[in-house]
Structure 1
Amino acid sequence: MTLNQTENDPPISELVKLAAGGDRDAFAAVVDAQYDYIFRIAFKWLGDKSDAEDVTQNVVIKLAKSIQQFDGRSQFSSWLYRIALNAVRDHQRASNRQGRNVVALSLVSPTSAPSNQEDDVTMNEVWSAVRQLPEKQRDAVLMVYGEDMSHADCATIMGCKESTVSWYVHEAKKSLKGLL
């Protein structure tokens, strides 16, 4: 059950099936149930509320165009995460082409404030170093440590084997030791 869902609402999997079949009310319910999830993903990657809102809107539009393609082989949340991640990357590429300085991987969520200023500085240093990692290592670190995903879930989203995710995380840790 998602944050916006009540016990009487159909499960998200049922709503997704209905939405894929063209049921507009079911699609609206899916968007309502998943909107905060999409926004949280975009905000963690972009670190800017306005950019995250733009990306979230783009994801909703992409979702409307592609929900019929969801085949149920993976969890809907994993499939949706991949769509959101691709939208974030598209936004970052567009922003970089426009010469904007995009802050990626701002991983301190608005609800989890550090206990003191020293922790805040340390967290910023760590994630600043993470930003310097190669893309796949950065993705793995964000999902495993920033999103608290299992290596298996991360592998599903990244489209690789679980052992590959473990290798990316291992290589990232080695690189981070040198950067920090």
Structure 2
Amino acid sequence: METELVEKAALGDRQAFAALVESRYDFIHAVAWRWCGDRQDAEDVAQEVCIRLASAIRGFKGASRLSTWLYTVTLNAARDQVRKRRRAEWRDAAYLRERAVLEGGTGEDDNEELWQAVRQLPDKQRDAVLLIYGEGLSHAAASEVLGCAETTISWHVHEARKRLKVLLCDAAA
């Protein structure tokens, strides 16, 4: 059934495309939320993915599963959103630190959570951890989504664990 929808949507059938988006929207939104950690950002990413799918569906050749392909499209949109959010947060954080110092505080947030720490990891480590632990994918499936070797995924996860220990210990101190 889904294969038919994909084929019809790729040929320009709007009803098939709408049915495909409707059937996969919750999946896309859930992945986006885990990557972004913010409801509004997740909704923005999910909407962006749906817009991108309108033209990208023509490029889906069925070489991988649709869910793997959707992970990749959603991951790319989430990365774009996270970059945009980081730029705004850096600007806002600089303002808040300056204001906190002027008011006699430190401007630091001592309540770092695990997933917030994960989002601070370098892109490849963060992506590997979110796919493995957030999405529950195997190392093989994560390597397919990220387009790298399975051993590379394992290395990114290993490095992420070391970095998370430092990030979480610093947050607790």
Normalised by the size of structure 2, how large is the TM-score? Answer: 0.78
Displacement after TM superposition at 1:85 (Å): 1.0
Partner of 1:161: 149
Partner of 1:132: 120
* Structure 1 residues 96 and 133: alpha-carbon distance in aligned structure 2, compared to 1, 3 A threshold: closer
Amino acid at match of 1:48: D
Mapped pair 1:16 → 2:6? yes
**Structure 2: how far apart are the matches of 1:52 and 1:133?**
19
Higher helix fraction (1 or 2) = 2
Pairwise mapping of residues 41-120 of structure 1 onto structure 2 (< 5 A)? 41-97=31-87, 99-100=88-89
* Structure 1 residues 62 and 149: alpha-carbon distance in aligned structure 2, compared to 1, 3 A threshold: same
Structure 2 segments unaligned to the other structure (5+ residues): 91-110
Displacement after TM superposition at 1:20 (Å): 0.8
Partner of 1:32: 22
Structure 1 segments unaligned to the other structure (5+ residues): 1-9, 102-121
3-state SS, counterpart of residue 117 of structure 2: helix
3-state SS, counterpart of residue 71 of structure 1: coil
**Structure 2: how far apart are the matches of 1:168 and 1:154?**
11
Displacement after TM superposition at 1:162 (Å): 1.0
Partner of 2:139: 151
Q: In the comparison of the two structures, how many residue pairs are matched?
A: 150
* Structure 1 residues 174 and 93: alpha-carbon distance in aligned structure 2, compared to 1, 3 A threshold: closer
* Structure 1 residues 171 and 96: alpha-carbon distance in aligned structure 2, compared to 1, 3 A threshold: closer
**Structure 1: how far apart are the matches of 2:23 and 2:120?**
34
**Structure 1: how far apart are the matches of 2:128 and 2:46?**
21
3-state SS, counterpart of residue 22 of structure 1: coil
**Structure 1: how far apart are the matches of 2:44 and 2:164?**
31
Larger Rg: 2
Displacement after TM superposition at 1:52 (Å): 1.4
Displacement after TM superposition at 1:54 (Å): 1.5
Amino acid at match of 1:13: T
> Is 2:5–2:19's contact at 8 Å kept on the other side of the alignment?
yes
Partner of 1:171: 159
* Structure 1 residues 82 and 65: alpha-carbon distance in aligned structure 2, compared to 1, 3 A threshold: same
Normalised by the size of structure 1, how large is the TM-score? Answer: 0.75
**Structure 2: how far apart are the matches of 1:80 and 1:17?**
15
RMSD: 2.1
3-state SS, counterpart of residue 57 of structure 1: helix
